[in-house]
Amino acid sequence: MLADLPWLKNSDGIDIELLESKDEGKCLKGFEDRVKEIKLMDDGVEKEILAGIILDELSGLPIEEGYGYLEPSDLAGITAGKPRSELPFKVDKSNLCSDKLYTKLCSDELYNKIYGAWLGRCAGCLLGQPIEGWYRSRITSLLKGTDNYPLDHYMSSMVPTNIKEECDVSDYPGIYGNKMKGWINNVEHMPEDDDINYTIMGLKIVEKYGIDFTSENVAECWLDNLPILHLCTAERVAYRNLVNMKLPPHSAHDRNPYREWIGAQIRADFYGYIAPGNPELSSSMAWRDASISHTKNGIYGEMFVAAMLSAAAVTDNIENIIHTGISMIPEKSRLYENIKTVLDWKRAGNSWEYVLDRIHQIYDEKNAHDWCHTVPNAMIVCIGLLYGDLNFGKSIGIAVMAGFDTDCNGATVGSILGMLLGANTIPDKWIKPLNNRLKSGIDGFGLVEISDLAYRTVDIAKRILC
């Protein structure tokens, strides 16, 4: 039975847990050999029992003395660790209805921005979806072989035979029940993707429970509306934990080696959409959402993106948007440190290709833990934003050309640029293929109009502003 249920096997994650525990500053002496021995065992109950024991032991190890980071997962600890510097802009939260922000965003401009964010998220996700899992060299070969480098338009599987063979371009299999891969020649709308499912899940959560929802509400909404096989890595483990009555925050860290991966970061967007100009509110909602499946930098990634989206509604200064994002997370965290590094690279005058090279020197795209970790992917998001020159296509193109988690990073950059620019300024070549529709795996949605999702989002945002 265990062999038929690979998404539940403890033994699949013990090598990832070694890397995660090392990142967290734990002493792993003696564990590497034990992990190797377990990985070499025949599949079966004994192997999974031993793997579970070692996951528990590694997760429970103390952080070594002298570790340079202070990374709490509780909201009070995160708040205490935030940088002391002020936000790049201030919002008069005591009377938002009389503020200029409210006057501006309760007009058609609010809808334009939120619709732009939904469209931008879909477009960026669709751009990266068919090459998810590809290494950067393979992506570059395809783009250069099709006269699409730097990336300037959607990719097609209808390419010359020699390029199809060299880059192993194929139409099958699709993901999440999609029959074919999301090459532009195969789509009539935004196909289902977890990056879009979670944005819709945010809408479902807030419509049902309000903005004061709890982590337990998020868990209940998942179990009610999202099949387990539509989730990946940390979310799938958290789902299993929830079914076994392990409530948040235990659902996030119990036998979950993926707890700092990108899954929470891609769930942030809706909380930024509904709190324009209020990064504190957006990031607090993101914390409640992230805490059911992630810890430490996994949580910070969602708070960071939610705050950036909140800022993108009221400023077009990309550095201010990024500074707003990191102002919501602990200053002594790996994510904060690495985002500051990206900002330094940009200020030093380096090219986008150079800084992408630097990412690949620091993180190994062939290592699953690096490929899917929050930190390198958040760095790539910032590179797309900083080097995109407020150009939608250039921004999502850089994020996708970077490799690593292409659809996630394209979606996040597209969402932020869409919010900043508004739907009416995104070039038609990026939004026309969507036909204003997306396919969702969330119960009660199915094939829906993106504009309808935007209207429902605007209704919530207006209530919060007032």
Percent of the chain with pLDDT over 70: 94
Six-digit token string for 421: 């620019």
Six-digit token string for 345: 């690279």
Average pLDDT, integer, range 442-460: 96
pLDDT in tens, 12-62: 999 999 999 999 999 999 999 999 999 999 999 999 999 999 999 999 999
* Alpha-carbon distances of 294 from 55, 161, 461, rounded to whole Å: 16, 43, 26
Residue 367 has pLDDT above 80, yes or no: yes
Helix, strand, coil % in the chain, rounded to nearest 5: 60, 0, 35
Average pLDDT, integer, range 147-173: 97
Residue 124 has pLDDT above 60, yes or no: yes
The domains of the chain, with CATH numbers, are 2-59 (no CATH), 78-465 (1.10.4080.10)
Residues in the chain, how many?
466
Q: Where does the pLDDT of residue 7 fall: very low under 50, low under 70, confident under 90, or very high at 90 and above?
A: low
Average pLDDT, integer, range 355-363: 98
Q: Are 262 and 275 in contact (CB under 8 A)?
A: no
Q: Among 94-98, 177-181, 284-288, 428-432, which stretch is predicted with the lowest mean pLDDT?
A: 94-98
Tell me which H or E stretch contains 439.
Answer: strand 437-439
* Alpha-carbon distances of 266 from 286, 369, 405, rounded to whole Å: 10, 17, 11
CA 91 from chain center: how many Å? 26
* Alpha-carbon distances of 452 from 274, 443, 459, rounded to whole Å: 15, 16, 11
- d(CA 372, CA 376) in angstroms, rounded, equals 8
- d(CA 271, CA 461) in angstroms, rounded, equals 10
Residue 89 has pLDDT above 70, yes or no: no
Q: Where does the pLDDT of residue 131 fall: very low under 50, low under 70, confident under 90, or very high at 90 and above?
A: very high
Q: Where does the pLDDT of residue 465 fall: very low under 50, low under 70, confident under 90, or very high at 90 and above?
A: confident
- What pLDDT is recorded for position 323? 96
Q: Where does the pLDDT of residue 98 fall: very low under 50, low under 70, confident under 90, or very high at 90 and above?
A: very low
Closest-CA residue to 266 (of 195, 197, 193): 195
Q: Are 385 and 318 in contact (CB under 8 A)?
A: yes
Tell me which H or E stretch contains 447.
Answer: strand 447-449
The number of C-alpha atoms within 13 Å of 190 and in the hemisphere containing its C-beta is 33
How many CB atoms are located within 10 Å of the residue 263 CB? 30
Q: Where does the pLDDT of residue 6 fall: very low under 50, low under 70, confident under 90, or very high at 90 and above?
A: low
Q: Are 385 and 413 in contact (CB under 8 A)?
A: yes
Average pLDDT, integer, range 263-289: 97
Q: Can you give the pTM of this predicted structure?
A: 0.95
pLDDT in tens, 203-217: 999 999 999 999 999
Average pLDDT, integer, range 149-175: 96
Q: Where does the pLDDT of residue 106 fall: very low under 50, low under 70, confident under 90, or very high at 90 and above?
A: low
* Alpha-carbon distances of 15 from 141, 255, 460, rounded to whole Å: 31, 12, 43
The 3-state secondary structure of 222-262, one letter per residue: HHHHCCHHHCCHHHHHHHHHHHCCCCCCHHHHCCCCCCCEC
What value does the CA radius of gyration of the chain take, rounded to a whole number of Å?
21
Q: Where does the pLDDT of residue 84 fall: very low under 50, low under 70, confident under 90, or very high at 90 and above?
A: confident
Any residues with CB less than 8 A from the CB of 222 and at least 6 apart, and which? 201, 231, 235, 239, 242, 292
- d(CA 362, CA 368) in angstroms, rounded, equals 14
- What pLDDT is recorded for position 8? 67
Q: What is the mean pLDDT of the chain?
A: 93
Residue 100 has pLDDT above 60, yes or no: no
- What pLDDT is recorded for position 92? 41
- What pLDDT is recorded for position 107? 72
Closest-CA residue to 392 (of 109, 106, 111, 122): 122
Percent of the chain with pLDDT over 90: 89
- d(CA 63, CA 69) in angstroms, rounded, equals 10
